[in-house]
Amino acid sequence: MSDPIKITEKCVFCGACVKACPFGAITQAERKTAPVIDLQKCTLCGACVVACKFDAIWMKEKASTGIDLNAFKDVWVFAEQHDGDIQSITYELLGEGRKLANSLNMKLCAVLLGSNIQGKAQDLIARGADKVYLVDRPELAYFQDECYGNVLIELVNRHKPNVFLCGASTIGRSLVSRVAVKVNAGLTADCTELAIDPKTLNLLQTRPAFGGNIMATIETPASRPQMATVRHKVMKESVANPTHKGEISMEAIAEVLLQSKAHRLKFIPEVESTMNIAEANIIVSGGRGLQSVENFKLLRNLADVLGAGVGASRAAVDSNWIPYSHQVGQTGKTVCPKIYFAVGISGQIQHLAGMQSSDIIIAINKDPDAPIFKVATYGIVGDLFTIVPKLTAEFKKILGK
Amino acid sequence: MRYIVCIKQVPETTDVKINPATNTLMRDGVVSIINPFDMYAIEEGLRLKALHGGTVTVLSMGPPQAENALREAIAMGADDGILVSDRAFAGSDTWATSYTLSMAIRKIGTYDLIICGKQASDGDTAQVGPGIAVHLDLPQITYVRKIESLDEKTIVAERLMENGYEVIQSPLPCVLTVVKEINEPRLPSLKGKMAAKKAVIQTWKAADINGDPKCLGLDGSPTKVVKIFTPAPRKGGQIFQGDPDEFIPEIVAKMKDAVLGAAQ
């Protein structure tokens, strides 16, 4: 097999491609020799092709998919529900989906799966959906990977959406990964920015990689639907408008698609009384500086006053001060709240990867050189055991609690 | 029982630095490691083998040097390693990657459990595990934090959800993706290291796995990266120190609107 990318004789040895390669895959031994591409490092991202002013880099074109892109219409949003409650990520997707649908001059549609869920379709219409595809079946009462996946695959094949968005939640990621493979769609994970390219009308999907150290913009040029999961709390929720009109399409589904090999035996809600950190607008996180499990109480007090979720660094979780589901960072959760308190957390890069896209970061640490201060909007150098109770009291005052 | 553990070699991300002159990632000299989540997948395979018997096969798709990751897994106790490596795979996105791994798994032939880490630390997609499941038409249990029971036909496992956990029962074979909570990966033993040195890692090319060329690499990847850039680094803000009674009211006043806006 010939190389999928090579530097041709048009090369003038300027070295622009060496600098452009984000993966360090291009090297130039001397100023007067052609650069060399290390194919083991190259990801065919094309950054060098764009950077080359002399059209000297040849990259293999993708084979045509033969798909008629015009056959795919509308922007779809998966309406995630738990026990019949529509999750807020759905409203964020409807808010963002509306902009995309307007740019494409297409309809915004929601897909709602559940049992006795019909009453919720109107909520989705009020939040901006022009059409709701509804599958109301007892088998869909709660999320199950296979039957939810089968139903979505069937609906995509039946109605051919152009764009299909889903929350980058546990459910969302487990579900649409199955759907995308089966319908031969491109799927981009955990997007933080979406836009329509005005020329090609492709969906531009921007997402963090390498723990947020780089951002990548991704397209699905030759196949449809263009599927993406979207990070929670990044997009703005659509506002409910009770006068917005939309249609509800009850979708019939063959029995066989509702069967699952795997079954949920039970669901055990978490005992920790605080809020799910993926959902929280404010998160109060604690680290090694808290010194003991008892001291987490300080954070819970502050969290209660603020209506916040409680998070933790890896060090706190590994010390068994709080369950793993609260861990923020590379091996835990990535969160994006409006306000993030880092209390007694030094700010290792793995932790920063999970929280540095928060709007406001408040760090409290006794070490003035702690790396957390490099990302903090407000950094407080001092003893957390003095500062946290004072902060709590002060917030209590202004919130009138 | 045969457990297949899918692993990926990734740069040790803590070492990824941005070159301020070129604004690109400096990857020279960056150590490659087994994706941290895959360490839990390997450990779980080894743990199940100790409890129920069987063999643990580690499988990776990547460049030739990914062989080192497979040897590391063998040093931990895995029985054998298979590397799927071919230039034809260059440019693979998660669609093509899960296809390629699924074809390699088909070639392996018999298996009961396929275990993956929940996601890789470089791409962070969490899409390849479920992708393998669909390509093989298998059930999946994602985000597994505990295996409650396993017998010849059935697995019962706990899946970590945002607001609690589910207990899921699935027939075998089945694909699992695991989270950190599931176990604590062991260190390689001396005996393991010796075995890893001697182990013969099989390398399979596109033709060996019967891969359909239009499903591989660039052609099999619906998505395309059109731009890579470094986000503007977050700048540190205001630092307060000294007497908390002086600056706390100031900070709280500054944050009042944000807090009221965010209060739930």
Give tens-digit pLDDT for A124-156. Answer: 999 999 999 999 999 999 999 999 999 999 999
pLDDT, residue A326, reads: 93
Tell whether omega for the bond before A225 is within 30 degrees of 0, i.e. cis.
yes
The 10 Å CB-count burial string (b at 16+, else e) for A207-223 is bbbbbbbbbbbbbbbbb
> In the predicted model, is pLDDT for residue A64 greater than 90?
no
Would an 8 Å CB–CB cutoff place A218 in contact with chain B?
yes
What are the tens digits of pLDDT across the range A197-213?
999 999 999 998 877 77
Q: What's the rounded Cα separation, in Å, for the pair A127 and A120?
A: 11
CB B9 within 8 A of CB B42: no
Residue B18 in contact with partner chain A when CB distance is under 8 A: yes
Please give the mean pLDDT across all residues of chain A.
Answer: 92
pLDDT the model gives residue A65? 78
The pLDDT value given to residue A384: 95
> In this predicted structure, what is the pLDDT of residue A331?
84
**By the CB < 8 Å criterion, does B125 face chain A?**
yes
A93 pLDDT above the threshold of 70: yes
Taking contacts as CB-CB distances below 8 angstroms, the residues of chain A near B139 are 145-146, 260-262
Q: Average the pLDDT over A75-97 and give the result.
A: 96
Cβ distance of B264 and A307 shorter than 8 Å: yes
Output the pLDDT for position B16: 56
Strand partners, B5: B58, B115
Q: Which residues from B are below 8 Å from A186, CB to CB?
A: 93, 95, 221-224
**pLDDT score at B264:** 57
Quick: pLDDT tens for A216-231.
899 999 999 999 999 9
Architecture of domain A5-59: 2-Layer Sandwich (3.30)
Provide CATH code, domain A282-399: 3.40.50.1220
Classified as helix, coil or strand, A175 is: helix
CA pair distance A56, A14, nearest whole angstrom = 11
Of all residues in chain A, the percent with pLDDT exceeding 70 is 98
* B-contacting residues in A 260-279 (Cβ below 8 Å): 260-270, 275-276, 278-279
Of A43, A262, A270, the CB nearest to B139: A262
User: Cα–Cα distance between A23 and A43 in angstroms, integer?
Assistant: 8
Q: How confident is the model at residue A74 (pLDDT cuts 50, 70, 90)?
A: very high
Mean pLDDT of A263-269: 95
* Ordered domains of chain B (ranges, CATH): 2-215 (3.40.50.620)
Domain A69-258 and domain A282-399 have a common topology? yes
Ranges of chain B with pLDDT below 50: 14-15, 23
Contacts of residue B36 in chain A, CB cutoff 8 Å?
330-331
Domain residue spans of chain A: 5-59, 69-258, 282-399
Query: Which tens digit of pLDDT belongs to each residue from A167-200?
Result: 999 999 999 999 999 999 999 999 999 999 999 9
Give the pLDDT confidence score for residue A312 in this predicted structure. Answer: 95
Interface A-B, measured as beta-carbon pairs within 8 A, has a size of 327
Cα–Cα distance between A205 and A96 in angstroms, integer?
Answer: 12
- Average pLDDT of the residues in A230-241: 93
- How far away is chain A from the Cα of B53, in angstroms, using its nearest Cα? 24
Give me the residue label for tokens 């706390």. B248
Residue type, A261: K
Please name every residue paired with B32 in a beta bridge, in sequence order, or none if there are none: B11
Look at residues B125, B8, B171, B128 and name the one whose alpha carbon lies nearest to residue A218: B125
**Cα A367 to Cα A370: distance, rounded to the nearest angstrom:** 5
DSSP code string of A116-145: S-GGGHHHHHHTT-SEEEEEE-GGGSS--H
State how far the Cα of B6 lies from the Cα of B226, in Å rounded to an integer: 28
DSSP letter string, A89-123: HHHHHHHHHHHHHHHHT--EEEEEEESS-GGGHHH
Cis bond before residue B173 (omega within 30° of 0) = yes
Among A134, A26, A31, A25, CA closest to A79:
A134
Q: Does B166 touch chain A (CB under 8 A)?
A: yes
Question: How far apart, in whole angstroms, are the C-alpha atoms of residue B167 and residue A264?
Answer: 6
Q: Which fold has domain A69-258?
A: Rossmann fold (3.40.50)
